[in-house]
Amino acid sequence: MSIFEELGIPTIINAKGTSTRVSGGILSAEVAEAMREATQACVDMPVLQGRASTIIAEVTGAEAGIVTSGAAAGLLLGTAACIAGLDPSLMNRLPDTGGMKDEVVVVRSQRNFYDHAVRQAGVRLVEVGIADRFAGSGVRDAEAWEIADAINARTACVLYVATPHSEPSLPEVVAAAHGKGVPVLVDAAAQLPPVGNLRRFIAEGADLVAFSGGKAILGPQASGILAGRRDLIQSAALQMLDQDIWFQQWSPPANLFDKHRLKGLPQHGIGRPCKVGKEQVVGLLVALRRFVALDPARRHAEWISRLVEVREALRPANLLQVNLVDNGPDTVPLLEARLDEKAAGMSALEAVIALQDGAPSVHADPSGAKHGLIRFNPMALQAGEGRIAGERLAALLASRA
């Protein structure tokens, strides 16, 4: 009996991808075994994070890095680091930012609800730019000079949400921010693959970059990476780790911590709710090693074969126009089924819900449902599941014809 059977929890077919809502993806046996092993011994957590820093630095090209409990945790810790620096009394006061740097500049079109994590540190977001390009009223978005103009003595950092269409470009934003002596924190949570993005944002001058560990890296669902400037990573680590000991007793790894630069140790910091266990740290590091070593063409071929399973199973369904969307090995392919909503007498969203409500529950990607599209994402599909997902949709539509 599986643990989920024992708990009475039905498992689902996840054709949505590695989203948190559907519990992320499937860990490789190697990662799962490493996590199991990690449960069987105790270690000094700052020492483990110090080793993680070396590995993350090698992989990202950054000066340092820590394993976080997710990209959102990285955003909170990164913001807190930009506010407090290496001053333990400022760390202890957060999220009260009275008299401290309490503003973060962000391009308005990049606002999203993950920026709750930034605001949690006690800052106010200062939005710049009006995105005519999205309103259909023009071609422009924010420009770098607008960011520069919004920076003042209270600015803790500039938040940059990286996507392939973010504007202005990161190098322009970095130039504007660094010109005013302010760091740039990049939310790159879901910007993998391509694997090259692990290095790209740092190479383009970002001071801190947050990645999810539970998305394409296929690490533990509640893990992530914060990489960047060593002083900022040190501050982030100090605000996350449990340091309830005497300062004399504290002998942290020198590659991550400069004990001589600190007048004392902060106590449980604002990042304490973002605790990561040794299992998460170990699992993330093993998954990261696998992700970097993986042949993108091979992984891509595997993803395509999962989607082909869905497509084959959908063949008998005649109310669908099926399209495999593939933009190459550095991207995640998708299967898109356009539903003839009129003939089916049901909307794509209703079909998505019906799949979800059946047994086994199939979670398709609902992002195109308002436009008549039922999407299938291969990242968390296991062999054989794509066929079941496709058969379920075909059977649903057969009953409507």
Binding site for ligand PLP (CB under 6 A): 20, 70-72, 114, 161, 187, 189-190, 212, 214, 224
Smallest separation, CB 313 to ligand PLP (Å): 29
Q: What angle do CA 13, 189, 141 make, to 5 degrees?
A: 120
Smallest separation, CB 221 to ligand PLP (Å): 8
Query: Cβ-closest residue to ligand PLP?
Result: 70
Q: Which is nearer to ligand PLP, 366 or 386 (CB)?
A: 366
Smallest separation, CB 186 to ligand PLP (Å): 10
Q: Which is nearer to ligand PLP, 222 or 337 (CB)?
A: 222
Distances (CA, A) of 123 to 89, 155, 172: 17, 9, 24
Residue 240: name the closest of 66, 93, 40, 16 by CA: 66
Smallest separation, CB 123 to ligand PLP (Å): 17
Q: Are 188 and 162 in contact (CB under 8 A)?
A: yes
Is 59 in a helix, a strand, or coil? helix
Q: Which is nearer to ligand PLP, 86 or 210 (CB)?
A: 210
How many angstroms separate the CA atoms of 179 and 138, rounded? 29
Smallest separation, CB 209 to ligand PLP (Å): 12
Instruction: Classify residue 384 as left (phi > 0), alpha (psi -120 to 50) or beta.
Output: left
Q: Which is nearer to ligand PLP, 185 or 202 (CB)?
A: 185
Smallest separation, CB 346 to ligand PLP (Å): 30
For tokens 């202890």, the residue is 92
Q: Which is nearer to ligand PLP, 18 or 243 (CB)?
A: 18
Instruction: Classify residue 353 as left (phi > 0), alpha (psi -120 to 50) or beta.
Output: alpha
Q: Which is nearer to ligand PLP, 22 or 394 (CB)?
A: 22
Q: Are 257 and 46 in contact (CB under 8 A)?
A: yes
